[in-house]
Structure 1
């Protein structure tokens, strides 16, 4: 990695915010009191598999954002590595994602309708996106000169404020040793 302009780019999700409701699941992202459960979660209660799965997804994205925050701090402390940056990008709701094949039937139908409307919707919102648009943004964050030296959380190409929990130094320390 080029120590003068290296970039680490990770993927996030709107599902990483414990403080925001998730329209696709009842359960929100968050770290369990016993962090060992991140590695070995208990079995899901019958009927709760979908929501627990989505919670685990959001928690994994929260862990990415926590890691991004921690790695940026560590890199900035080292004079030889301080120019390397770490960003985490939320690509937006990818309506054509294969992940929707495991959604509830109603959500799958809704995503199919939204996907069909994407040629029009893409001009009005970034909440739902095509994989192609998200891919272009990911490449831009990774290599384009305008993002050289940028750190932090992005939704597409726009810098945003990540979840409050991602700034928790204790969570950063705990995740760093798991």
Structure 2
């Protein structure tokens, strides 16, 4: 049996077709699929179940994981680690940190841990999950896919009004200032989370490369493009934006691609994400990818001083230290 593929936010717009691509084309792998609500009343989880049911011979399992809770995240990582250790589950081949959140209609909401919900869901909890599971990869390694966005780079995203930036006071990332324009502030929080993810990935790769037992694990910050059919436009978004995307952008997507090739459907990015995760594209490569092309991330994300500051602070936020990660050398 080939290794396991862990996907967070597995009932999302990109994830569901990604799961289908995985099960259809690579049935030897085990799919470990986390969702916030695994109940039968969640329509998106039921769509995920329908996909799984089409492949009766596949090994696919749905787990509950609430990324707005560090306690829940650490408990899940510990349970999965134990299952792999006792060979109930095959070792990891890849982790896709797909789960995502934004809120463009309200002020920042703090989680039970006291962090901005966008930032914790998109970044902090994924840091806890990934660093807690590093020693559960197969000996030949694997790949971790962290989801970036064009929003990490100032001036690129159409919805940007406040450019993303890493503040001198990093605690402003977990407790952002309030702005009168809630839409602008919400997208700023989202863009900042993607900038931090991208910057952190660069630091992460340096530490992996320095560790003899982990250097076969690679990390990529993947920009899947602007997914015009994403459910993210249906919730915590203004009615005007939702209608614009549904009735103008989606129908005119073939024409809009000429102006912006990044605009695409979730199913297209889903295939790319799985091929990246399985190391079929640019095998052994690390760093930032735009769609399936190796590229340079924004200048600020490549600032190594800022990368190191974010590395230290992210571990602190995620409650990671040398006692609960295999990357011992990266922590004092």
Same fold judged by TM-score > 0.5? yes
Range with greater deviation from structure 2 (92-101 or 66-75): 92-101
Aligned match of 2:170? 35
d(CA) in 1 for partners of 2:214 and 2:169? 33
Hey, what's the Cα distance between the residues in 2 that align with 1:150 and 1:122? 31
Match of 2:282 in 1: 147
Q: CA deviation at 1:154?
A: 0.9
Q: Could you tell me how far apart the structure 2 residues matched to 1:146 and 1:25 are? A: 31
Change beyond 3 A, Cα 1:143–1:21: closer
1:122 to 1:135, Cα distance in 2 relative to 1, 3 A: farther
Select 2:199's aligned residue among 62, 66, 73.
66
Compare 142-151 and 49-58 and name the one that shifted more.
142-151
Q: CA deviation at 1:51?
A: 0.5
Question: Aligned match of 2:269 in 125, 128, 134?
Answer: 134
Residues 115-145 of structure 1: CA distance to partner in whole angstroms, max 9, x if unpaired? 1234x35975631111111111110100143
Tell me which of 131, 140, 159 is aligned to 1:4.
140
- Aligned mate of 1:45, from 170, 174, 179: 179
TM-score w.r.t. length of structure 2:
0.49
Q: Shift of residue 6 of structure 1?
A: 1.2
What is the aligned partner in structure 2 of residue 54 from structure 1?
A: 187
Q: Which runs of 5+ in 2 are unaligned?
A: 1-136, 314-332
TM-score calculated relative to the size of structure 1: 0.87
**Structure 1 pair 129–21 and aligned structure 2 pair: CA distance change class (3 A):** closer
Aligned equivalents of 1:81, 1:144: Cα separation in 2: 16
Q: Does 1:14 align with 2:147?
A: no
SS in 2 for 1:146: coil
* Structure of larger gyration radius: 2
Tell me the SS of whatever aligns to 1:145. Answer: coil
Paired residues, what number? 174
> Which position in structure 2 is the counterpart of 1:108?
242
RMSD: 2.0
CA offset at residue 55 of structure 1? 0.7
Counterpart CA distance in 1 for 2:257 and 2:171 is 44
Cα–Cα, structure 1 residues 129 and 144, in superposed 2: closer, same or farther, change >3 Å? Answer: same
Taking the aligned partners of 2:184 and 2:257, their CA distance within structure 1 comes to 31
**Which residue of the partner structure matches residue 302 of structure 2?**
167
Change (3 A) 1:94 1:2: same
Deviations 1:64-91 (A, max 9, x none): 1111100111111122222211101111
Is 1:21–1:28's contact at 8 Å kept on the other side of the alignment?
no
Q: Which has the higher contact order (CA 8 A, sep 6+)?
A: 1
- Tell me which stretches of 4 or more aligned residues in structure 1 moved more than 4 Å: 121-125
Q: Please report how far the alpha carbon of residue 172 of structure 1 lies from its aligned counterpart in structure 2 after TM superposition.
A: 1.4
User: Shift in Å at residue 31 of structure 1?
Assistant: 1.3
| Shift of residue 22, structure 1, vs aligned partner | 3.0
Aligned mates of 1:108, 1:78 — CA distance in 2 = 46
